Structure 1
Amino acid sequence: MAGFSTPTAVQAAAIPQALAGKDVLATAQTGTGKTLAFLIPIIEQLLQQNAPGVAALVLVPTRELGMQVMDQYNALRGKKLTPGALVIGGLSEGQQLSAIRQGARFVVATPGRLEDFLNRRLIRLSGVRVLVLDEADRMLDMGFLPAIRRILGVLPKERQTLCFSATLEASVARIVNDYMKNPVRLAFGSTMKPSENVRVQAYEVAHDRKQELLHRLIAGETGRCLIFARTKRGTERLARNLNREGFAAAMIHGDRSQSQRTAALTGFQQGRYRVLVATDLASRGIHVQDIAHVINYELPELAESFIHRVGRTGRAGARGIASTLFTRDQRSELHQLEHTLGIQMERMGKSI
């Protein structure tokens, strides 16, 4: 199995239930191996039933996550199963349609593009046996609820539904009640706390010395660094400054084209860029292995985002560091963040 030997807690709990045909609702942090927790049961089902047409559908919030799920599927599927079809925005429609026409039985889609294909009668979902909602809370945050409801409305009622979410907010709970049958409820780790493997620290710094501190933190780190800014413009400004200072940095945010995002992520994964600067919205699709240090150059607007940011390091048992920079007038904001999450960040000396 593609070099995986010990299942993660999520996989060990979810795979047997999913193989038994049960609906599964799992809340789990990122980096817990949830993709395999649904891919393995799906591949088993596809091997057992050979009916033509789309049999398994995975809905994801972002193109990047869709591409990663598909890469894992293709690494695992072996020779007996046909390649899957990706139905996501930002990539050539022709390629996606030809995969469907060639008999793909496994489809990974973002809700917007899939709904468009359904409206234009380019895809049929009447044979779907398994539906996966991956990062369900994120899809709802992004306003996909109406599209998801319309998509679920055309799926067969007799199907298995697997839902993975970092949190179980009211909106997710509603979808669960409406579309799942007696789901087995699995919860792993506090989804509102960083992983135990991450050292969480905070630096108080004067506003005009933040860049200097950032350069010091990156220079003192040998591994990959992921930096978060609040705005698209802030992301661009930081990436420009870092490159000027001699740090190989790439950036991703909502206005970057699909090819620009893919190039940045691939370059970061392969080590051409040691630093990636991102906004919160773009960050949810980042599943790059071995990020050593996450730096919150700016505080996130939502406590939830802090967990998603920090969840990019310390994955799959590795250790990581998450540093947060804040100015004196943000002390109360930082306290509020700690209070909401029930954590205490280690205060680092006022070195700058």
Structure 2
Amino acid sequence: MTPFSELNLSSNLKKQLAALNFVTPTPVQDAAIPQAMEGKDVHATAQTGTGKTLSFLIPAIERLQKTQGKHPAVLVLVPTRELALQVEKQYRDLVGRYLPKAAVVIGGASEKGQISDLRGGARVVIATPGRLEDLLERRMLKIDKIEMLILDEADRMLDMGFVPAIRRIVSKIPKERQTLCFSATVDPAVAHLLAEVLRNPVRLSFGSTQKTSSSVKLIAYEVEQSQKAALIHRVVSNEAGQSLIFVGTKRRTEDVARKLERAGVSVAVMHGDRSQSQRNRALESFQKGRAQVLVATDVASRGIHCDNIAQVINYDLPKMAEDFIHRAGRTGRAGATGIAASFYTPIERREIARFERSLDLKIERIAIKENLVREQRGQMVDTAKLKFAGAPAPTRGKSGGRRNMPAGVYLEGESLQKYAAR
């Protein structure tokens, strides 16, 4: 493949790519960038973690350097807030100071700041469809001079019901434009939408988009529901790298995180009930390595990039086979190896078999037969004995009861077992 340094790119962009240690394009980048820079519409599908973001940002940046104006010229539509922020960060890293910063238009964040960025001459708008439509209806933004439309994770936007909004947005954009579409999967509904927005596109496909990367090892633990919490602690503790845990509900996400924190694990939490600032802080903490574990609902299954995710754990199985792929795609990225582990109860054996059958996968199954809860309590007892050994004798009150005694101290035998089980 042709190195970035030998592509027909501006000196500014080459310098930034070199500073970010981007040397050799991935296959999707190698194929898509030249086609997009020729002004062609592109529809590319590839597995997660293959470098799709750079595939559309490089052509967009090159276009911006050749045109002038203070109006938005590039519109990037994405399904989630997190993905919008990821794309904006990648754009900021690539342009440095030689292009205006992008305006991020998303819900859950300060509208005042977003409008300020738009009025400040932003040439790139990165938006979720809902908030963008809101600003358009209130005439806070014009997109009648857009030169390039980019649909990122188009399949996910379809899943989330954004197709009507996308159609309305596209109707306000000039027909004479370039459109780039990138997704991990494609189905008839997606194809129908793309037929409306793309003009004679170059079709690119890389590998099976319905399979996990070959660099990801698939494991499934059969475990009773009552032992999941003990198992998650064991699996996380046995991995030196970072772990991303997917949980089915917001409430259970908080519960899993709380139990891991009590066990001394540094945890960040993401789900739909958390404010955007809380979600941003959680993601930043995980990306910068301050949190060993990120516990999240499917809000994190796409749009989260972290090079150090050693394992993904499905605490609760996903409902859709496609979600299984996207969750697993958070690890083993850009040539690295990773583990995707799933917890399933005996009554969920058919679900694991369904994933294997529909995705043509082979998942290693491990049955957990020992009592992990009892084992964990035993460890707590040992810790309690060590912690309280050699403590000074307590003083007694007039009633004969102990006073000034820290919780858990001076417990022995049955009382110590009860303490450990709490």
Same fold (TM over 0.5): yes
Matched, 1:309 2:327: yes
Aligned to 2:107: 89
State which of 253, 256, 261 in structure 2 corresponds to 1:243. Answer: 261
- What are the Cα deviations for residues 145-178 of structure 1, in whole angstroms up to 9, with x where unaligned? 1111110000000000001111111221111111
Matched, 1:217 2:235: yes
After TM superposition, the structure 1 = structure 2 runs for residues 100-139 of structure 1, keeping only pairs within 5 Å, are: 100-139=118-157
Q: Secondary structure at the match of 2:341?
A: strand
Matched, 1:34 2:61: no
Matched, 1:321 2:339: yes
Report the alpha carbon displacement of residue 92 of structure 1 after superposing the two structures with TM: 1.0
Q: Secondary structure at the match of 2:279?
A: helix
Aligned to 1:174: 192
CA distance in 1, matches of 2:245, 2:124: 34
Report the alpha carbon displacement of residue 207 of structure 1 after superposing the two structures with TM: 2.3
Alignment RMSD, CA only? 1.2
- What are the Cα deviations for residues 60-110 of structure 1, in whole angstroms up to 9, with x where unaligned? 111111111111111111433211111111111111111111111111011
Report the alpha carbon displacement of residue 201 of structure 1 after superposing the two structures with TM: 0.9
Aligned to 1:149: 167
State which of 241, 251, 256 in structure 2 corresponds to 1:233. Answer: 251
CA distance in 2, matches of 1:73, 1:282: 20
| Conserved? CA contact 2:316–2:344, under 8 Å | yes
Matched, 1:190 2:219: no
State which of 60, 64, 89 in structure 1 corresponds to 2:78. Answer: 60
Q: Secondary structure at the match of 1:315?
A: coil
- What are the Cα deviations for residues 37-75 of structure 1, in whole angstroms up to 9, with x where unaligned? 000000100001113311111001111111111111111
Rg larger in structure:
2
Moved more, 12-21 or 48-57: 48-57
| Conserved? CA contact 1:26–1:186, under 8 Å | yes
CA distance in 2, matches of 1:179, 1:196: 33
Q: Secondary structure at the match of 2:139?
A: coil
Q: Secondary structure at the match of 2:334?
A: helix
Matched, 1:267 2:289: no
CA distance in 2, matches of 1:351, 1:34: 42
Q: Secondary structure at the match of 1:348?
A: strand
Report the alpha carbon displacement of residue 256 of structure 1 after superposing the two structures with TM: 0.9
TM-score of the two chains, using structure 1 as the length reference? 0.97
| Conserved? CA contact 1:248–1:275, under 8 Å | yes
Runs of 5+ unmatched residues, structure 2: 1-16, 371-422
State which of 130, 154, 159 in structure 1 corresponds to 2:177. Answer: 159
State which of 348, 366, 370 in structure 2 corresponds to 1:348. Answer: 366
Report the alpha carbon displacement of residue 346 of structure 1 after superposing the two structures with TM: 1.2
| Conserved? CA contact 1:290–1:315, under 8 Å | no
CA distance in 2, matches of 1:249, 1:204: 24
Structure 1 232/187 Cα, relative in aligned 2: closer, same or farther at 3 Å?
A: same
| Conserved? CA contact 1:254–1:282, under 8 Å | no
Runs of 5+ unmatched residues, structure 1: none
The letter of the residue matching 2:262 is R
The letter of the residue matching 1:296 is N
Q: Secondary structure at the match of 1:154?
A: coil
Report the alpha carbon displacement of residue 348 of structure 1 after superposing the two structures with TM: 2.7
CA distance in 2, matches of 1:142, 1:74: 27
Report the alpha carbon displacement of residue 17 of structure 1 after superposing the two structures with TM: 0.5
Q: Secondary structure at the match of 2:76?
A: strand
CA distance in 2, matches of 1:267, 1:126: 38
The letter of the residue matching 2:33 is I
The share of aligned pairs that are identical, in percent, is: 58
Report the alpha carbon displacement of residue 351 of structure 1 after superposing the two structures with TM: 5.4
